[in-house]
Chains A and B, each alone.
Chain A
Amino acid sequence: MRGAAGGGAEEGGVTVAAPVRSLRISVEINGEPYELEVSTRRLLVHVLRDDLNLTGTHIGCDTGNCGACTIHLNGEPVKSCMLLAVQADGARITTVEGLAPDGELTPLQQAFSEAHALQCGYCTPGMLMSASALLAANPSPSEEEIRIALQGNICRCTGYWNIIEAVQAAARGGKAS
Chain B
Amino acid sequence: MLLREVEYARPATVEEAVSLLASYEGARPLAGGQTLLNVMKARAAAPEVLVDLADLDELRRIGFSEDGMLELGAMVTYAQLVSSSEVEVARPILAEVAATIADVQVRNRGTVGGNVCVADPTNHLPPLLVALDARFTIRGPESERTVPAEEFFLGVYLTAVGEGELLTKVSVPPASNAGDGFAGVTIGRHGTYIANAAATVSGEGVRIALGCVAGTPVRATAMEERLAGGDFSEEAVRAAAQGLGATLDPPSDVHGSAEYRRHLAEVSAVCAVLQAAARRKGA
CB proximity of A61 to chain B, nearest CB, Å? 10
Residue pair A40, B104 in contact (C-beta under 8 Å): no
Residue pair A152, B102 in contact (C-beta under 8 Å): yes
Residue pair A76, B79 in contact (C-beta under 8 Å): yes
Q: A40-B6, A67-B105 are in contact. Are A82 and B38 (CB under 8 A)?
A: yes
The reply on B11 being an interface residue by CB < 8 A is yes
Residue of B nearest to A11 (CB): B19
Residue pair A21, B5 in contact (C-beta under 8 Å): yes
Interface string of B2-14 (1 = CB under 8 A from A): 1111111111010
Q: How many angstroms between the C-alpha atoms of A86 and B6 in the bound complex?
A: 12
CB proximity of B46 to chain A, nearest CB, Å? 11
Which of B21-29, B66-74, B250-258 is found at the contact surface with chain A?
A: B21-29
Interface string of B137-150 (1 = CB under 8 A from A): 00001100000000
Enumerate chain A residues within 8 angstroms of B109, measured Cβ to Cβ: 78-79, 82-83
Residue of B nearest to A14 (CB): B19
Enumerate chain B residues within 8 angstroms of A11, measured Cβ to Cβ: 18-19, 22-23, 141
Enumerate chain B residues within 8 angstroms of A23, measured Cβ to Cβ: 8
Enumerate chain A residues within 8 angstroms of B158, measured Cβ to Cβ: none
User: What does DSSP make chain A's interface, helix, strand, loop or mixed?
Assistant: mixed
Residue pair A2, B105 in contact (C-beta under 8 Å): no
Enumerate chain A residues within 8 angstroms of B38, measured Cβ to Cβ: 63-64, 82
CB proximity of A66 to chain B, nearest CB, Å? 11
CB proximity of B37 to chain A, nearest CB, Å? 5
Query: What are 12 A-B pairs at a CB distance below 8 A?
Result: A1-B25, A2-B23, A3-B23, A9-B23, A11-B18, A19-B24, A19-B27, A20-B8, A40-B7, A87-B52, A130-B105, A133-B104
Q: B residues touching A (Cβ–Cβ < 8 Å)?
A: 1-11, 13, 15-16, 18-20, 22-25, 27, 30, 33-34, 37-38, 41, 49-52, 54, 79, 102-106, 108-109, 141-142, 189-190
Interface contacts beyond A10-B23, A43-B1: sample of 15 additional A-B pairs, CB < 8 Å, sorted by A: A2-B23, A10-B19, A11-B18, A12-B15, A19-B9, A42-B2, A46-B2, A64-B38, A77-B105, A82-B37, A82-B106, A83-B33, A84-B30, A149-B104, A153-B103
